[in-house]
Amino acid sequence: MKRRELIQWLVATAGLHRLDSLAPQELLALGRHVHRRAAAGRALDAHALQTVTVAAERIIPATDTPGATDAGVSAFIDKMLADWHTPAERDRFLAGLPELDVRCRARAGKDFVDCAEADQVVVLMALDDESRSTSSGEHWFARLKYLTVFGYCTSEAGMRALGLFPLPWRYDGCAPVSTH
């Protein structure tokens, strides 16, 4: 439901009165929920999409060149989960992703997206290490990272940053690395 639709519904059903009984904390949660609904992806709900967006940006941050957010990586990941991966692969990913919240709550008492960047990085580094030592198929975090790198390096922002676009339209087999 979009915010405008919610307000129309509240007015039309006299539901506004119900808001009086809500505590400020609950009102905030309701507002955040409605906001996230508006930004949901196809495979990822709003919270998951936001989580993926922040995690991807921590993996490939904006520096002097664009980062994962600038490159639209989370939309690509949502597209891949919705239309490319098998249901089993998608379920494995979606089942793993809330681990970011679990670990951040244990560490800092907040969801991943609300944690300080330093806490986010610690949690992601630990998962990166663990994903490399698992033996039971691909770790969900390895998939997130793979899709982040692939999505970044095949985006316009990423390919420009990597010097892969625009195309040179010539061949030099022994060019100095600094050449673009």
Q: What is the 8-class DSSP label of residue 165?
A: S
CB of residue 121 vs another protein: minimum separation in angstroms? 7
Residues in 115-134 that interact with another protein by CB under 8 A = 121, 124-125, 128-129, 132
In the complex, the smallest distance separating the C-beta of residue 2 from another protein, rounded to whole angstroms, is 26
Q: From the CB of residue 175, how many other CB atoms can be counted at a distance below 10 Å?
A: 11
Expressed in angstroms, the distance from the first to the final Cα of the chain is 47
* Least gap, CB of 70 to another protein (angstroms): 12
CA–CA–CA angle 89, 83, 139 (5° rounding): 20
For residues 14 and 38, give the distance between their C-alpha atoms in angstroms, rounded to a whole number: 23
Nearer to another protein, 108 or 121 (CB): 121
Q: Which among 146, 148, 147, 166 is positioned nearest to 156, based on CA atoms? A: 166
Span from 8-16, 46-54, 94-102, 151-159 in contact with another protein (CB under 8 A): 151-159
Structure tokens at 2: 């979009």
Q: How many residues bind another protein (CB under 8 A)?
A: 46
* Residue 3 identity: R
Nearer to another protein (CB atom), residue 91 or residue 129 = 129
Structural tokens at position 39: 């930004």
- Does 165 participate in binding another protein (rule CB under 8 A)? yes
Residues that bind another protein (CB under 8 A): 58-61, 63, 65, 67, 76, 79-80, 83-84, 121, 124-125, 128-129, 132, 142, 145-146, 149-156, 159, 161-162, 165, 167-177, 179-180
